[in-house]
Chains A and B, each alone.
Chain A
């Protein structure tokens, strides 16, 4: 049982490049989310999904896209990377609204 798997663990991008951060969970959780963690700011919600085919914006969605074609996968796309998107990204899933989130191990992204 792998839980929540994120790839890659580290990535360096040049300004303007695009890329996709992968997230997969094998717990059949309906809820999935992407958070970014910046120093002194805790974690902030980027996008979330409450089931396959359903996604919505969180607190800081600009510059990111998501899709949820299956229950298991919830990729995060950076359309045109900017230095302000340098951060640690966490994917998380939960069984339902009353449960805690299980987090992936994170992706450390640097945009130069």
Chain B
């Protein structure tokens, strides 16, 4: 069965702190894709990253970095030197490559509040 767990419901940090959002997934497929989306207060869903199961290299994009570890089925997201504009709900999602490839399985989201 496919499942994505984001155990942190809400995180509050002070601006310039580093923060890590956890994501743990479950799948029986050997080929799958993991995603992070950002939902700012305006409500739209913004694509941040896509990672396939064969690429365990960490990725960095500016202040954002992602740590993919197949051994622990985790795909964590770190924001370095957080800013108020980072305040949003962040969703981790899983897509399998097999028969159920049509759908994204979303976690319940982590609400990040960055205080000035």
Contacts and interface: CB of A to CB of B under 8 A. Distances in A.
Interface in A82-102: 88, 90, 92, 97-102
A39 B4 CA distance: 16
A58 B103 contact: yes
B47 A102 contact: yes
Nearest to A38: B108
Q: How large is the interface on A (under 10, 10 to 19, 20 to 34, 35 or more residues)?
A: 20 to 34
A100 B33 CA distance: 9
Contacts of A50: 102
Contacts of A97: 95, 97, 101-102
Contacts of A42: 4, 91, 106-109
Given A33-B103, A50-B102, 13 more contacts: A40-B109, A42-B4, A42-B91, A43-B106, A48-B102, A56-B102, A58-B103, A59-B103, A97-B101, A98-B52, A100-B47, A101-B104, A106-B43
Contacts of B102: 31, 33, 48, 50, 56, 97
Given A100-B50, A103-B44, A40 B104 contact: no
A38 B95 CA distance: 20
Contact of B108 (A40, A56, A100, A105): A40
Centre residue among B45, B47, B97 by max chain A CB count within 10 A: B45
Contacts of A2: none
Contact of B33 (A43, A56, A98): A98
Interface in B93-116: 95, 97, 101-104, 106-109
6 contacts: A31-B102, A41-B108, A42-B107, A43-B104, A100-B33, A100-B50
A51 B103 CA distance: 14
